[in-house]
Amino acid sequence: MADKLVIVESPAKANTIKKFLGGNTKVVASMGHIRDLPKSKLGVDIEHDFEPEYINIRGKGDLIKSLKKDAKQAKKIYLATDPDREGEAIAWHLAYILKDENNKIVRVTFNEITKNAVKNAINKPRNIDYNLVDAQQARRVLDRIVGYKISPLLWNKVKRGLSAGRVQSVAVKLIVDREEEIEKFVPEEYWNIYADLEDKNTKKEFEARFFGKDGKKQEIHNKEEVDEILKNIENAKYIVKEVKKGEKKRNAAPPFTTSTMQQEASRKLNFTLKKTMSIAQGLYEGVKIPERGTVGLITYMRTDSTRISEEARAAAKEHIIKTYGEKYYENRYYKTSKDSQDAHEAIRPTYADLEPDSIKDALTKDQYKLYKLIYNRFMASQMSSAIYNTMAVTIDANNYTFKANGQNIKFKGFMALYVEGTDTKEQEVGMLPDLEENQELKKNKINPKQSFTEPPPRYTEATLVKALEEKGIGRPSTYSPTITTILERRYIEKEQKQLVPTELGKVVNKLLTDNFSDIINVEFTAKIENEFDEIAEGKEEWKKMIREFYGPFEKELSKAEKNLEHVEIKDEVSDIPCEKCGRMMVYKYGRFGKFLACPGYPECKNTKPIVETIDVPCPKCGAKVQIRKTKRGRKYYICENNPKSCDYISWNKPKLGEKWNPEEAKEFEKAKKETKPKTKRKKSAKKK
């Protein structure tokens, strides 16, 4: 019998915590939520002030019995679920199930799973924070009402299986609106003129760009304007008019929040949001490290704060000075955005001494990549600014002005360890020759270049998260499930990394924005998020907020039910004829994704998979290489002639000109066996 019972969500977290607590403490897992709204009905009693109708989750009966038994035997029960609103709600549901008649249930939270953090939390328990619980209830109930009231409309008027959601529908709207911007965009012509100039002393060549005339900026719209300028500078002397030398500082980026981690993992590691959060969850809950046991490697990964503790700051200082030297350290504080909940710290490593390369063998390949990203980002955030020598030169040619800029790095600072990625291409700028004012330069070549304005880029997962955060839509815990849902519903699909609305997505978006314009819009969704925050802070009563929402919503719903007409979505036609009947095949969606089907069904039932190929030939036989996926969604590469006349198969994308290593096929088969889903053994029939 244990004196203390600690309840967490997952077995991994339980294993990590066990070693920090004494033998008289038992640590068990609730396996996430144990109570929720029923799936089969609305589960919100609208007639009785929106009272939620919670039920025990199906399949958790034995677990609940076990938790009750453990709770009965314990003198003190610590609910140690995650330190956010969702975790608070899970703790509240656990307290309800365990019926605390003797006031022995308390709540504990920790932002990192380390010995000090866990022991401090156990020594300073608190009561359940009902404001946080109410904020989670408000979100759950409001989203349930929106989803369960609007979705049946979509089933009736469009097709079954569709869903609407407060945040997901706004995310789809952003993507559809961007696509419309792109389609309506009219490119405009513009020109640049570049001069290849040479310093006569050093013979070093550099490029200067046309700026304007008589010191004033001039834009060039067409070739006639270009020809006029070229004519006037044909025999011009290029004289250096001004040289400005200086220094420029570049500061480190702050440590990760959930959204910046997701964006950077997308840019640098090509991880989806879902993958990033899954790996981060594992790093937070604990990884087995030789000689250290199971260790929580990072702090809690759902946060919008850039704050870090003084202990972490001191550990970073010691590590940076020891590794790089005193001049590389700078004590930095970062401002957290006004909308941040700031409930806990930024995402950072829990132990400064556990450098990524020192524990690489204990981590999976993906865990190592993400841990290294988090570790380096945090350490860099406490390092000195990078310093550049800069030079800006103004050049005169017959009263026309050209400008050139250059820079080189003087002191790397934080860039010795980490540089933040960007969503746009950055051009590197080298240093210019050491030029002097009134110096004449040699003209080697003039390069006029025609360009056209480009439409705004499509969203990627990373840039959509950035947009959602900037507009105040959703919170750290919602970004990944929101994007996962709209991909699974096929309202959008990915082309390379870009998010593109499907015909279904466009139809559903139009239907929702036309009929629920007060709900499916950015401003309203951001306002709702702020109200959730006010509930969490005890400034607003959650049912009052739902009441105020439901009145206008019910009117819109009633109006939409009367006015909505049936919408037929036509299948997208491919350019591939059906080999059985000659009709042009159409794209359909099934359990395993997109495939081709004959539109003549049921007369013709022909279907075929969509074969995606790459532009690199098979390293073994020169035929086309196809991209395929395992049942678990992992991508691999295979020769189109496999298994007939070529056995090329690999996890790795082949490179042009590289020779095939037969060991890759063995590695493929080995990994395939290791990742094969485990099937449950059937119980043998009992003998009568």
Q: Are 415 and 409 in contact (CB under 8 A)?
A: yes
* Active site positions, annotated: 300
What is the SS3 assignment for 482?
helix
**H and E: helices and strands count for the chain:** 17, 27
Q: Are 515 and 563 in contact (CB under 8 A)?
A: yes
Q: Which of 528, 676, 416, 628 is nearest to 135 (CA)?
A: 528
Q: Are 544 and 141 in contact (CB under 8 A)?
A: no
Residue 57 burial (CB count, 10 A): 18
* Strand 105-107 with 76-79, pairing: parallel
d(CA 109, CA 129): 11
The CA-CA-CA angle for residues 75, 76, 78, to 5°, reads: 155
What is the SS3 assignment for 222?
coil
* The amino acid at 353: D
Q: Are 664 and 654 in contact (CB under 8 A)?
A: no
Residues comprising the chain, all counted: 688
d(CA 65, CA 98): 10
* Token reading at 553: 């919503």
**Residue given tokens 């829990």 in the structure block:** 350
Cα 32 vs. chain centroid, distance in angstroms? 22
Q: Which of 67, 60, 115 is nearest to 91 (CA)?
A: 67
User: Among positive and negative, which fits the CA dihedral 414, 419, 424, 426?
Assistant: positive
Q: Give the full edge-to-edge strand order of the sheet including 105-107.
A: 25-29, 4-8, 76-79, 105-107
* Token reading at 227: 């020809």
Count of alpha carbons within 13 angstroms of residue 176, beta-carbon side: 23
**Residue given tokens 């005890």 in the structure block:** 538
Residue 271, by phi and psi: left (phi above 0), alpha (psi -120 to 50) or beta? beta
Count of alpha carbons within 13 angstroms of residue 489, beta-carbon side: 29
Residue 562 burial (CB count, 10 A): 6
**What are the residue ranges of helices labelled H in 125-256?**
130-157, 166-184, 223-232
What is the SS3 assignment for 96?
helix
Strands (DSSP E) along 400-539, which ranges?
400-411, 440-452, 492-495, 498-501
Count of alpha carbons within 13 angstroms of residue 618, beta-carbon side: 20
d(CA 261, CA 568): 40
